[in-house]
A = this chain, B = another copy of it.
Amino acid sequence: MTDSLSRRKLFGFAGAGVALAGAGGVVGAAVAGSGDHAGEADLVPFHGPHQAGITTPAQDRMHFVAFDVTTRDRGELVGLLREWTRAAERMTAGQEAVDRGAVAGAGEAPPGDTGEALDLPPSGLTLTVGFGPSLFDDRFGLAAQRPPALADLPHFPKDNLDPGRCGGDLCVQACANDPQVAVHAVRNLARIGFGKVAVRWSQLGFGRTSSTSRTQRTPRNLFGFKDGTNNIKSEDTAALDEHVWVQPGDGPQWMNGGTYLVARRIRMHIETWDRTSLREQEKVVGRAKGSGAPLGKADEFDPVDLRARGADGEPLIADDAHIRLASAERHGGARILRRGYNFTDGSDGLGRLDAGLFFVCFNRDPRRQFVPMQRLLARGDGMMEYLEHNGSALFACPPGIQPGGYWGQHLFG
């Protein structure tokens, strides 16, 4: 890190007391002073044993981008990852992307930073990088380092994938409480990568759909239901080790402490859903719409009892209910860490909003977690009638970075 002034200091913003969480080393580096409504001044430490943006209490907004690597030069790629890491250290601290930023110098050169975040505090920004399966082809000599868990996702029943929303050699997940800060970060990384990477696809999410901390209220998805009640929380360190973080012996050493990110762009047919009765909606989900409680229970966090039956002898949670098919119980105890966002991308040209869920999850081995879950859901989930999966990608997120390190150093080093 440099000693240059932060964006806020430079412009005299009287921030409401930035509290720094302890330096790297805290698992799931917490957003200082977070909670339901994390402040814009929040700063999430960049360094640590794991990348930030995974167990960080989910920020309100997201800009996710997948890149194609256009250079064929391994050294140039490594140089870019180093440069990106330095820029990320700065931007997550509320600074400009580079030391000589938007208004530095005599004006003869293009500015080093694009400037639209000049007056904005860190806003809880996290930047999380992943490597796609295609990065491990013959271009960069990485084939032998490809983790078996980074197996191409299979075709799932009813997938209707748009190649323009799939895959990518690299991804960056930018999350923040101010969307302008997230967009600024993605744009400046793209700019630093000019000539070496090109944007393949990108997705904005306007509202988080999962809690990843017990300090957060469960948010609602665009079906109007609380989503992610039984998500793994950042406080559940044992569950994180079991289900999220790659452990020694799982695969190649460079991924120890990392995790696998699955992204799915799920269009929701909200117009059809909105014409469905409340009873049917609740049957499809398996929870009450108001409270979020499992059907037959009173409170959102009451345990789900898949064996409970009503007075009529029928299961309270239907055989094809979403929470039944997605439950750990149905998957030998396997769980995932969900961290998705609601999106609305204008309209579809047919008189409807193009809206849905940008599903993001982190798991230790997608072959044993996301893939079997999605197979079962795609075949049997009553909710599939209202969903269309049209984007899909898988990335290996390396472990966290120590000061001086860089994204992927154990892969390339």
A164 CA to B351 CA, complexed, in Å: 11
Residues on B with beta carbons closer than 8 Å to the beta carbon of A217: 119
> Of B178, B276, B282, B288, which is within 8 A of A110 by CB?
B276
Q: Does A221 contact B (CB under 8 A)?
A: yes
Cross-chain contact A191 with B346 (CB below 8 angstroms) = no
A290 CA to B221 CA, complexed, in Å: 39
Known contacts A342-B180, A345-B346; A278/B353 CB under 8 A: no
- Cβ distance A374 to chain B, nearest Cβ, rounded Å: 23
Q: Does A277 contact B (CB under 8 A)?
A: yes
Residues on B with beta carbons closer than 8 Å to the beta carbon of A224: 102, 111, 113-116, 118
Q: Does A37 contact B (CB under 8 A)?
A: yes
A106 CA to B355 CA, complexed, in Å: 28
> Of B11, B115, B277, which is within 8 A of A109 by CB?
B277
Cross-chain contact B290 with A103 (CB below 8 angstroms) = yes
- Cβ distance A162 to chain B, nearest Cβ, rounded Å: 11
Known contacts A191-B271, A271-B194; A103/B278 CB under 8 A: yes
Q: Does A281 contact B (CB under 8 A)?
A: yes
Cross-chain contact B274 with A191 (CB below 8 angstroms) = yes
A347 CA to B347 CA, complexed, in Å: 16
A274 CA to B179 CA, complexed, in Å: 20
Known contacts A115-B225, A206-B180; A107/B282 CB under 8 A: yes
Known contacts A180-B206, A204-B346; A220/B119 CB under 8 A: yes
- Cβ distance A110 to chain B, nearest Cβ, rounded Å: 5
- Cβ distance A76 to chain B, nearest Cβ, rounded Å: 17
Q: Does A3 contact B (CB under 8 A)?
A: no
Residues on B with beta carbons closer than 8 Å to the beta carbon of A277: 107-110
- Cβ distance A301 to chain B, nearest Cβ, rounded Å: 15
Cross-chain contact A187 with B40 (CB below 8 angstroms) = no
A107 CA to B288 CA, complexed, in Å: 10
Q: A residues within 8 Å of B by Cβ?
A: 11, 37, 40, 61, 63, 65, 68, 102-103, 105-111, 113-119, 164, 178-180, 183, 186-187, 190-191, 194, 198-204, 206-207, 217, 219-225, 270-271, 274-279, 281-282, 288-290, 342, 344-347, 349, 351-353, 355
Give 9 closest A-B pairs by Cβ, nearest first: A115-B224, A198-B351, A107-B279, A103-B290, A179-B206, A107-B278, A180-B207, A199-B347, A116-B220
